[in-house]
Amino acid sequence: MLDEPLIHTLMAAARQAREAAYAPYSGDFRVGAAVLTGDGQVFTGCNVENASFGASMCAERVAIFAAVAAGQRQLTALVVIADTPQPIPPCGLCRQVLAEFAPACQVIMANTKGDYQVATMEQLLPYPFEFRQP
Catalytic residue set: 60
Q: Which residues contact 69 (CB under 8 A, 6 or more apart)?
A: none
Q: C-alpha distances in angstroms, 119 versus 10, 28, 126?
A: 15, 27, 12
